[in-house]
Structure formats: structure tokens, C-alpha cells
Structure 1
Amino acid sequence: MTATSCEPVRICSSEELIDGGDGIRRKAADKSGEASVFFVRYDGKPFGYLNRCAHVPMELDWSEGKFFESSGLYLMCATHGAIYEPDTGRCVGGPCRGARLRKIEVTERDTPDGPAVFWLPDGDLRPA
């Protein structure tokens, strides 16, 4: 099944995303070609972003799924140390202060298999 800009894409069960814990990556495509997106939970809610630092277009995670810094309160770019608010994507420390991660729309809903997190792709960023 190929996702279009209207079809929600199931990412994971809700219990797989833990507040301040590991994120989940997915391959994506945007105008520049191949990309990746990631999903994390913060303050009880799921959030999703293009996995690209606002300072230099590099992926944020330290290793697969490691987006939060040690306190679990901020997302951190492994390359230059930019610090982002997990709920807004706004850079609050480092070389790109005031810039933002590219947010993607995420929803959480009940399914026959239990609560799950879904990505709602748009025309500019979609599953690969």
C-alpha cells in the first residue's frame, strides 16, 4: 500500500514511545530527495519532525533513535549541539537559536490493536 498525502501512516503502538526516551525513525522523501523523519513522546504527547538540523542539514540522532539529551527534556543535534524544544521544534540553544525543526503532523488514535501513533503526510514530505 502506498501512502499519499491524505492517508495516515501507522508509525508504532502508543506504548513504544516513552516520554524523553528513544524515538522512532522512518524513511521519507521531500523536494531534495531522500530524507528521514522521527517521532518522539514528550509531556505525554507524540511529536514528529524531519530529521534535519536547522543549523546544517544533517540528521540529529546520536545513534539510531537517540534524539533526547541526557535529561530527556530537549532534543539535541549530535553534530553541533543545537538544543530544540521537543514540543515546538524551536532551537533554544546552540548555533541556530530561534530557528525551528520542520514539524510534521502526528496523531494518536485507538485502533483494533490498541492505541497507535500515526503520521499525517503532506505534499512536501511523504513516506519513501
Structure 2
Amino acid sequence: MVAGQRLICSAEQLCEGGAGVRFTIDGVAGPLPAFVVRFDGQPRAFVNQCAHVPITLDWLEGVFFDGEGHYLICATHGATYDPVSGICVAGPCRGARLRPVPVVERDGAIWLAPTEG
């Protein structure tokens, strides 16, 4: 383990365009929900809050992708996000974005990367 990094899950838990893994990060006012998925072969992580209304995207735990595994989707309002950039490409918050969370894949695991500050 590298100093400042925290284990999220094993790399094998993330399948391309499949179920994600929930975790929490430290926020200013306390813990924030977050998630990680695999897309284009890379782990992609975001704060688990829709840019339209700050509610979690997945109403079934770990289900973040649309049926084709191409876009992240808010189960409540249908806001649709690009899984690389987090930008909303369709729905009520078009142009807004999910807040990215820095992660790294190393030694068969996904780690929360330390933030600069």
C-alpha cells in the first residue's frame, strides 16, 4: 500500500460496463457516497450524487450503467452521464457533471488515491 491510499475493492470485482462498487470518501461535512465502475478498461470513480438532485444514482446497489453498459444513469430522473468525463449528456441536468474521485488500479486492486492539498 502507498501512503495515503485506501483499498476500495479487488480489480476483479469490476467488469467492463458491469456493476459498480460503492464506497465513501471524506467530505467537508462528513462522509460522501462514491462509486467505482470499469469503462474502457479503466476504473472510473465519482461521488454518488446526481448533478440534477443530490441523490444516489443507483436505486439497486451497484447498478450504475444503462442496459447497454455505455452510460451511467440516474435511476430516479434518468440523467445520463458519460462514464469517462462524468458530463451529463441527456436528461434534466445536461452539461452538468458528476464529481470525479481519483482512483488507481495496482496489484490487482482498486485504491482511493490521495488528493493534493
Q: TM-score, normalised by structure 1?
A: 0.83
Is the 8 Å Cα contact of residues 90 and 100 (structure 1) preserved in structure 2? yes
The answer as to 2:105 corresponding to 1:108 is yes
**Runs of 4+ with >4 A deviation:** none
Gaps of 5+ in 1: 1-5
Inter-partner Cα distance in structure 2 for 1:54 and 1:121: 24
Indicate the RMSD between aligned Cα atoms, in angstroms.
Answer: 1.6
Q: TM-score, normalised by structure 2?
A: 0.91
Inter-partner Cα distance in structure 2 for 1:100 and 1:32: 21
Tell me which residue corresponds to 2:112. Answer: 119
Cα offset for 1:27?
A: 2.6
Inter-partner Cα distance in structure 2 for 1:81 and 1:55: 10
The answer as to 2:25 corresponding to 1:44 is no
Percent identity among equivalent residues? 50
Cα offset for 1:10?
A: 1.1
Inter-partner Cα distance in structure 2 for 1:36 and 1:95: 21
SS at match of 1:103: coil
The answer as to 2:73 corresponding to 1:76 is yes
For each residue in 1:47-86, what CA deviation from the matched residue of structure 2 results, as whole angstroms up to 9, or x when unmatched?
Answer: 1100000111111012111101101000000111000011
Cα offset for 1:11?
A: 1.1
Whose relative contact order is higher, 1 or 2, with alpha carbons under 8 Å and at least 6 apart?
1
Gaps of 5+ in 2: none
How many correspondences in the alignment? 115
Inter-partner Cα distance in structure 2 for 1:121 and 1:93: 31
